[in-house]
Amino acid sequence: MDFRVPDEIRAYLAELDDFIEREIAPLEREHNQYFDHRREWARTLWEEDGRPNPEWEALLAEMRRRADAAGHLRFALPKELGGRGGSNLAMAMIREHLAARGLGLHNDLQNESSVVGNFPTVHMLQAYGTAEQKAAFVEGMITGGVRMAFGLTEPDHGSDATWLETTAVRDGDAWLLNGQKRFNTGLHHATHDMIFARTSGDPGSPRGITCFIVPTDTPGFRVDFMWWTFNMPSDHAEVTLEDVRVPNSAILHQEGEGLVCAQHFVHENRIRQAASGVGAAQYCIDEAVAYARERKTWGKPLALNQAIQFPLAELHTECEMVRNLVYKTAWHLDQEHHMQVSDQVSMANYRANRLVCEAADRAMQVHGGLGYTRHKPFEHIYRHHRRYRITEGSEEIQIRKVAGHLFGFVGGRG
């Protein structure tokens, strides 16, 4: 076993840092209102349902354009899509590295834009789309011409997604979709929405759920409002579908097999969220340590107090343990089918999400009143990563998955 970071990844991280300093940091300084204490206020159209400011999103688009021109944005995509075929292990190390740099245009938390794109829906299309679907959507999804949302959860069904109530019934050579979606991300500007609907089977059955690619301008497709969330602006919509008619060619993968697509999406996201959580946690720890060393109380550095030292030492130790779990899991994802290591993905994800929330909270505490202000980044880091303890499978659901494998109730590893 070799625990060294591969030379090619180490070199690429240095290449990324150089690109960020040359191309992205000056752009960030030019638009600093989106990154200092005004960040949430400047990014949000408060009088327009809390939607993102178009000028803010234009800045993110320019960041991605520069990253794409420099050959970084598509790093994890296959070579036929202009990428480098980056491995899951490489992506874990990159995501951690970018998050450990702190807040910035290079790796924005609020809408998950990054100089190295994540693209879970592109991976879905590449894995399960028809040749026609790939030709119609994939390149646009990378460059921004096509904006694909993901509609799985509903008003009465989140973690119990197999009980969803949205239905699709045949109508000649087409389908009619009816139902509702909640926290349907990206609907402030999405051109298409991946709608999961039951087409057969009983409630609770994993089979019989189908994924449809639905143009958002289809009659009967309605965005009701945006949910205002812990982090703003919000693109998390409440969606109603009333007799939304789509052709059979709108089905992604196979009729009744949509849950396979959803699992592919969440596993892509979970391991990379975990890596980002480790990086952000380490950033919070390092910032708290640096502040404690320079801050003097009662005539001596704050760092001399064990009440300051011990919690940070515990978090630093936890960070090292979770980092190694994330790396190991990412390596397994490169060697095996993602469903074979689903329990490890869950372990890495829920522990990393919990870790970064604890690290951000501790950094606030060490910084005292200053840590509670928006002039420091910790409240923003906390509010962003807190959602991951719910989205892509709540931590309770992920712990249940680990237990299912452990006791042999599900999977083949228990």
Mapped to the 3 state alphabet, what secondary structure does 308-321 carry? HHHHHHHHHHHHHH
Task: Express each pLDDT in 125-172 by its tens digit.
Answer: 999 999 999 999 999 999 999 999 999 999 999 889 899 999 999 999
Secondary structure (3-state) at 149:
strand
Res. 414: pLDDT tops 60: no
Q: Are 60 and 113 in contact (CB under 8 A)?
A: yes
Residue 303 amino acid letter: A
Place 412 in a pLDDT band, splitting at 50, 70 and 90.
low
- Residue 344's pLDDT is what? 93
Distance CA 67, CA 65 (A): 5
Label residue 413 by pLDDT band (50, 70, 90): very low
CATH class for domain 7-118? mainly alpha
Contacts by 370-378, CB closer than 8 A, 24 or more apart: 373/37, 374/37, 374/39, 374/40, 375/36, 375/37, 377/102, 377/103, 378/284, 378/287
Mean pLDDT, residues 174-180? 98
The domain defined by 148-252 folds into: Butyryl-CoA Dehydrogenase, subunit A; domain 2 (2.40.110)
Helix, strand, or coil (residue 187): coil
pLDDT of residue 341: 87
Q: What is the pLDDT of residue 38?
A: 96
Whole-structure pTM value: 0.93
Place of tokens 């150089």: 18
7-118 with 148-252: one CATH topology? no
Q: What is the mean pLDDT of residues 269-280?
A: 93
| CATH code linked to domain 259-406 | 1.20.140.10
Q: Are the C-beta atoms of 61 and 144 separated by less than 8 Å?
A: yes
Residue 23 DSSP code: I
| Summary mean pLDDT of the chain | 94
Taking alpha carbons only, the member of 312, 326, 48, 325 closest to residue 188 is 48
103 to 35, 234, 348, 371, 384: CA distances (angstroms): 8, 19, 22, 15, 11
Domain residues of the chain, as ranges?
A: 7-118, 148-252, 259-406
Residue 99 makes CB contacts below 8 A (sequence gap 6+) with: 107, 275, 276, 277, 278, 279, 280, 283
Handedness of CA 338, 117, 97, 291 (dihedral sign): negative
